């Protein structure tokens, strides 16, 4: 009996280890911690999918609840005075800007007699997950507000499956225009020459798109002075860039997961994923995807050899007939900021772009940095050789990664010196 129990224990342990273990590059530090996080997320996804199959709720809403629950646990760990999340004195208000829910963080220093910095933040999560009110985003925004004497406005834009593009973008744009109005800036004692827009992942997409629109809007008397993009997702026409192929199995953002986020955002049938995996949706036969547009995301030109490595462009002659006409969002700069013309990019604010070597979105950020620089915009590229997607938000125990703390400190330092 004892032998049977021992064999059962060993078998379960091996099965658990097999489920958790995934091969990771040697450069990624604390690999088992990342594997455990990935196993949790995979399990949550499978359970959410099962709930949808049983008819309980949409899998995205269920998965969102799992992540909220996990962030709630983290909040309990971070609720003590000694935790990184406790920032005494920061005033937090949940209000709305132009009808869009926002959370405003006001620094303890106050605004009496002097002007402060302002920053609008759009959270990540594939336009489907995430909230500014819990977990890492709340912690980071409190830190920015306190350390940099900044009024931070974090936007709760609407998410999939309730909405699709362009609703999240329009929510963020409406909130941004309200924030930049002279009346609101004066109310919060914000210097109109020191206002930033920032975001990570899908939030970086929204921040880049909103920054572009504000930059060319002559009706706006105040515009963003800088933009900070954390591993932004910026294009949906080439899912065979070197970083998409190199990192397709690296957590926490797999290549197929990012494609699924795009399909959901643009309201495309998920069964078409195989077409996107092989770039059929951007085949040469599509006349609307002109050579000029293709050049704006030609990684063979925009990336250095260090990042191109030995990868070759995947160019399809004939793909899905009429696809781009059916899904115009694929060519809409509001969804795909990397496609913006040089005349638009030239008007954009100075930029900080953070990229990670082990991230499918690495090349999106690197190409955008190059295109902004070519248009005459000052760009700071902050690349982390040991970084992976999501590390910027993993800075607090028990999900504390050294590279995440470095990335967060780099972001704060750049804002301190440039905003």
Domain 91-235+341-418 coded CATH 3.40.50.1820: yes
pLDDT average, residue stretch 13-35: 86
Per DSSP, 62 falls in state: H
φ/ψ of residue 154, rounded to 5: -105, 130
> How many Cβ atoms are within 10 Å of 178's Cβ, its own excluded?
18
pLDDT for residue 77 is more than 60: no
List active site positions. 201, 359, 389
pLDDT the model gives residue 11: 64
> Tokens 């940099």 appear where?
148
Can you give the residue ranges of every domain in the chain?
91-235+341-418, 242-331
Percent helix, strand, coil in the chain, to 5, is: 45, 15, 40
pLDDT digits (tens, 9 = 90+) for 271-321: 999 999 999 999 988 889 999 999 999 999 999 999 999 999 999 988 777
pLDDT digits (tens, 9 = 90+) for 326-357: 899 999 999 999 999 999 999 999 999 999 99
**pLDDT confidence of 9, banded at 50, 70, 90?**
low
Which two three-digit tokens encode residue 201? 């992942």
Give dist(CA 335, CA 332) in Å, integer: 6
pLDDT average, residue stretch 196-219: 98
In angstroms, the Cα distances linking 43 to 8, 81, 249 are: 22, 32, 16
Task: Please work out, in degrees rounded to the nearest 5, the angle formed at the alpha carbon of residue 129 by the alpha carbons of 35 and 296.
Answer: 90
Q: Is the peptide bond before 166 cis (omega within 30 degrees of 0)?
A: yes
CB contact at 8 A, 329 and 266: yes
In angstroms, the Cα distances linking 103 to 76, 121, 170, 306, 334 are: 20, 10, 18, 41, 24
What integer best gives the mean pLDDT of the chain?
91
pLDDT the model gives residue 82: 38
pLDDT digits (tens, 9 = 90+) for 365-392: 999 999 999 999 999 999 999 999 999 9
pTM for this predicted structure: 0.94
**pLDDT confidence of 56, banded at 50, 70, 90?**
confident
Which two three-digit tokens encode residue 244? 């998409």
pLDDT digits (tens, 9 = 90+) for 393-414: 999 888 899 999 999 999 999 9
Give dist(CA 263, CA 273) in Å, integer: 8
In angstroms, the Cα distances linking 235 to 204, 211, 222 are: 12, 16, 28
In angstroms, the Cα distances linking 36 to 20, 172, 404 are: 6, 33, 16
Q: Is the peptide bond before 398 cis (omega within 30 degrees of 0)?
A: yes
Residue 185: strand, helix, or coil: helix
Cα dihedral: 121, 122, 123, 125 (round 10): -170
Q: Which of 20-34, 194-208, 369-383 has the lowest mean pLDDT?
A: 20-34
pLDDT the model gives residue 320: 75
Burial (CB count <10 Å: 0-12, 13-18, 19+), residue 72: exposed
pLDDT the model gives residue 13: 63
**pLDDT confidence of 110, banded at 50, 70, 90?**
low
* 91-100 b/e (C-beta count within 10 Å ≥ 16 → b): ebeeeebeeb
Helical (H) or strand (E) element with 199? strand 190-200
Torsion sign across C-alpha atoms 34, 40, 43, 45: negative
Which two three-digit tokens encode residue 99? 């009808």
């Amino acid at each position: 009996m004892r032998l049977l129990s021992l064999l059962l224990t060993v078998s379960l342990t091996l099965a658990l280890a097999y489920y958790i273990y995934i091969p990771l590059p040697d450069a990624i530090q604390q690999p088992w911690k990342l594997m455990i996080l990935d196993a949790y997320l995979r399990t949550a996804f499978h359970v959410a999918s099962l709930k949808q199959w049983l008819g309980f709720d949409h899998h995205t809403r269920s998965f969102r609840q799992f992540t909220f629950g996990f962030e709630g646990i983290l909040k309990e760990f971070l609720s003590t005075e000694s935790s990184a999340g406790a920032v005494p004195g920061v005033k937090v208000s949940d209000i709305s800007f132009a009808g869009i829910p926002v959370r405003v963080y006001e620094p303890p220093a106050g605004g009496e007699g002097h002007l402060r910095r302002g920053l609008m933040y759009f959270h990540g999560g594939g336009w489907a997950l995430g909230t500014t009110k819990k977990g890492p985003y709340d912690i980071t925004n409190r830190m920015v507000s306190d350390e940099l004497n900044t009024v931070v406005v974090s936007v709760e834009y609407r998410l999939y499956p309730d909405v699709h593009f362009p609703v999240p973008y329009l929510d963020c744009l409406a909130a941004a225009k309200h924030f930049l109005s002279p009346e609101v800036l004066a109310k919060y004692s914000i210097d109109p020459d020191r206002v930033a827009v920032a975001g990570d992942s899908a939030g970086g997409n929204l921040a880049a798109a909103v920054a572009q629109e504000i930059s060319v809007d002559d009706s706006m008397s105040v515009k963003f002075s800088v933009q900070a993009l954390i591993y932004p997702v910026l294009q949906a026409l080439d899912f065979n860039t070197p970083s998409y192929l190199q990192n397709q199995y690296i957590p926490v953002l797999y290549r197929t997961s990012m494609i699924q986020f795009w399909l959901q955002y643009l309201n495309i049938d998920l069964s078409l994923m195989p077409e996107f995996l092989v770039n059929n949706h951007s085949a040469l036969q599509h006349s609307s995807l002109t050579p000029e547009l293709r050049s704006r995301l030609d990684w063979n030109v925009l990336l250095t050899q260090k990042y191109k490595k030995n990868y070759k462009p995947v160019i399809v002659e004939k793909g899905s007939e009429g696809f781009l006409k059916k899904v115009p969002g694929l060519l809409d700069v509001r969804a795909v900021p990397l496609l913006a013309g040089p005349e638009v990019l030239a008007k954009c604010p100075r930029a900080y772009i953070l990229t990670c070597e082990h991230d499918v979105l690495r090349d999106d950020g690197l190409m955008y940095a190059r295109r902004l620089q070519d248009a005459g915009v000052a760009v700071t590229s902050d690349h982390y050789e040991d970084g992976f997607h999501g590390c910027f938000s993993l800075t607090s125990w028990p999900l504390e990664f050294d590279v995440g703390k470095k990335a967060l400190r780099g972001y704060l330092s750049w804002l301190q010196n440039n905003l």
